[in-house]
């Protein structure tokens, strides 16, 4: 054994081998994706409706619940969530987003809410396996997409009645208007920019909240996306996530930093660290879609015969597949690195979370486009799934921060200049 071999092996502590538990969960989710999600994909894409029966199935199987995500989240290696996302989105992106979309709102409550708020609202977001519900996270607005600081939705506190009155229009909300519980981000102090924002729960049936237009989309059409109009929505004081005392302290700190001319860098860094720690989740979804398209293309290339031989025997086709697979594996490694860093508290000094989201999203777009080419005319039809996968893949470079915003975050982090 030479020195190099001795330095590696079991003693290194480094491994990409999944544990037996991780393999078991991955295989179970793969089974659900293959047997329940994938066969329903084309139908719900055409219907452009929330696939309630599939969400119901996921709830019965134990996949649509906070417990399931909490278990995956607390996997000490960090791989629980990315493994789950890759398998579900391998099944179908639109249906998988309908299954995991509630998680966005749940994370909003988990990140900012008190224990009581978590215990009250999260169970209502999911409902019961026999009567499932969904939740929506509403931050984006018509004039505030990438530029969250331009948010206009306003929440004003009325001390006499201990309630908040919320007015504004949210857009692009996944599950917006059909949700049991909406989590809404609003401006409470316009002088403070993003530091003057707070999150509120809008309970089921609250007057003044209504669905605006439902968007007819290019892809992920099984996932409901709509405007949410808030017109004099009154919510009790206890619906402010984290509570009034904590908000007042936070606002006082931000005002003091502003008055003393300090930039509030620490607050901004904390917010950026939170985003970095979750960006790989979208990366994992993108890897799932890319892998699904690659596998379809590989099968097709092996069996489709032209000029008397399988098309994969042409280097022009085989090299495409080699590049596709290489990009997918590289994307997955970036996703796993970022999730491991998040789980083990490593600082994202090179915006590694953004890197994983950027690379995996662009990979999904590239790989699905190449898959269409490999399937030729069939690839261009709805008889084969790759055209749907290509339409679906486009979302990964847009939501949760566009590719341009990821590049901006990476570049500014590397340069050591403030992100915004
Ligand atoms: C299907 C879908 C589901 C969504 N779900 C949700 C949800 O549940 N909740 C929610 O709150 N939001 C949601 N979003 C909103 C999503 O996060 C935004 O669409 C995204 O942040 C981009 O904002 P925008 O669409 O306003 O684009 P804009 O910010 O207007 O960007 C337009 C273009 O300009 C580029 N650009 C902007 N600023 C810069 C810059 N400084 N430098 C370089 N390029 C720049 C962008 O990269 C993009 O290419 C969803 C969106 C979609 C499409």
pLDDT tens-digit profile of 128-137? Answer: 989 999 999 9
> What is the pLDDT at residue 276?
86
Question: E strands of 219-339, at which residues?
Answer: 225-236, 305-306, 309-310
Q: Provide the pLDDT for residue 266.
A: 60
CATH number of 20-131: 1.10.540.10
225 in contact with ligand 1, CB cutoff 6 A: yes
Residues of the chain with CATH 1.20.140.10: 270-415
Domain with residues 135-260, CATH architecture: Beta Barrel (2.40)
d(CA 115, CA 53): 31
The pick from 172, 179, 357 for probing ligand 1's pocket by mutation, whose C-beta has the most ligand atoms within 8 angstroms, reads: 172
Substitution site in 398, 403, 411 for ligand 1 pocket (most atoms within 8 Å of beta carbon): 398
CA of 404 to the centre of ligand 1 (A): 10
Would you place residue 265 in the very low, low, confident or very high pLDDT band (cuts 50, 70, 90)?
A: low
Query: How sure is the predictor about 233, in pLDDT bands with cuts at 50, 70 and 90?
Result: very high
pLDDT at position 267, please?
Answer: 55
CA of 147 to the centre of ligand 1 (A): 8
User: Over the stretch 290-336, which tens digit does the pLDDT of each residue have?
Assistant: 999 999 999 999 999 999 999 999 999 999 999 999 999 999 999 99
Q: Where in the chain is the domain with CATH 2.40.110.10?
A: 135-260
DSSP class of residue 398?
Answer: T
Domain with CATH 1.10.540.10 in the chain: 20-131
Residue 311 in tokens: 């098309």
Cα–Cα distance measured from residue 54 to residue 254, given in angstroms and rounded to the nearest whole number: 45
What is the C-alpha to C-alpha distance for residues 289 and 292, in angstroms, rounded to an integer? 5
- Per-residue pLDDT, 263: 55
**Nearest CA among 262, 267, 238, 265 for reference residue 250:** 267
Centre of ligand 1 from the C-alpha of residue 137, in Å: 14
- Considering only 188-197, 234-243, 252-261, which range has the smallest mean pLDDT? 252-261
Q: How many CB atoms lie within 10 A of CB 207?
A: 9
In contact, 44 and 221? CB cutoff 8 Å: yes
Cα–Cα distance, 416 to 371 (Å, whole number): 39
Q: Shortest CA distance to 109 belongs to which of 201, 19, 7?
A: 201
Query: What was the pLDDT predicted at 2?
Result: 44
Confidence of residue 160 (pLDDT cuts 50, 70, 90): very high
d(CA 352, CA 188): 32
pLDDT beyond 70 at 84? yes
For residue 6, is pLDDT > 90? Answer: no
Predicted local confidence at residue 9, as pLDDT? 47
CATH 1.10.10.10 is right for the domain spanning 270-415: no
Residue 260: per-residue pLDDT? 86
Whether 406 lines ligand 1, by a CB cut-off of 6 Å, is no
**Residue 11: pLDDT band with limits 50, 70, 90:** low
Catalytic residue numbers read 400
CA–CA dist 225, 205 (Å, integer) = 19
pTM comes to: 0.95
404 within ligand 1 shell (Cβ under 6 A): yes
Q: Is the CB of 18 under 6 A from ligand 1?
A: no
Q: Is 134 in the pocket of ligand 1 (CB under 6 A)?
A: no
């Amino acid at each position: 054994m030479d020195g190099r071999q001795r330095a590696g092996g079991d003693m290194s502590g480094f491994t990409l081998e999944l544990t037996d538990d991780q393999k078991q969960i991955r295989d179970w989710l793969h089974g659900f994706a293959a047997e329940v999600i994938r066969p329903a994909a084309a139908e719900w894409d055409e219907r452009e409706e929330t696939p309630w029966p599939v969400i119901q199935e996921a709830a019965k199987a134990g996949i649509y619940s906070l417990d399931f995500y909490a278990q995956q989240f607390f996997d000490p290696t960090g791989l629980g969530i990315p493994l789950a996302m890759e398998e579900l989105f391998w099944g179908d992106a639109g249906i998988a987003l309908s299954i995991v979309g509630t998680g966005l709102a749940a994370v909003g409550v988990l990140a900012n809410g008190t224990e009581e708020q978590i215990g009250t609202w999260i169970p209502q977001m999911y409902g019961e396996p026999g009567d499932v519900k969904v939740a929506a996270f509403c931050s984006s607005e018509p004039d505030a997409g990438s530029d969250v600081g331009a948010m206009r939705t306003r929440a004003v506190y009325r001390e006499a009645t201990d309630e908040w009155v919320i007015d504004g229009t949210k857009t692009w909300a996944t599950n917006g208007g059909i949700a049991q519980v909406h989590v809404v981000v609003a401006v409470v102090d316009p002088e403070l920019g993003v530091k003057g924002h707070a999150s509120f729960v809008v309970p089921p049936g609250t007057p003044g909240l209504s669905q605006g237009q439902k968007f007819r989309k290019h892809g992920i059409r099984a996932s409901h996306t709509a405007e949410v109009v808030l017109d004099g929505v009154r919510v009790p004081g206890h619906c402010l996530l984290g509570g009034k005392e904590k908000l007042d302290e936070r606002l006082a700190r931000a005002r003091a930093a502003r008055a003393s001319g300090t930039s509030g860098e620490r607050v901004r860094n904390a917010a950026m660290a939170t985003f970095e720690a979750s960006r790989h989740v979208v990366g994992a979804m993108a890897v799932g879609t890319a892998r699904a398209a690659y596998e379809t293309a590989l099968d097709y290339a092996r069996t489709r015969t032209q000029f008397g031989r399988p098309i994969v025997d042409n280097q022009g086709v085989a090299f495409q597949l080699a590049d596709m697979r290489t990009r997918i594996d590289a994307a997955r490694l970036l996703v796993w690195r970022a999730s491991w860093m998040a789980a083990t508290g490593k600082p994202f000094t090179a915006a590694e979370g953004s890197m994983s989201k950027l690379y995996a999203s662009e990979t999904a777009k590239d790989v699905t486009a190449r898959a269409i080419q490999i399937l030729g005319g069939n690839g261009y039809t709805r008889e084969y799934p790759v055209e749907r996968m290509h339409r679906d893949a486009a979302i990964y470079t847009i939501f949760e921060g566009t590719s341009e915003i990821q590049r901006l975050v990476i570049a500014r982090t590397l340069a050591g200049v403030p992100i915004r």
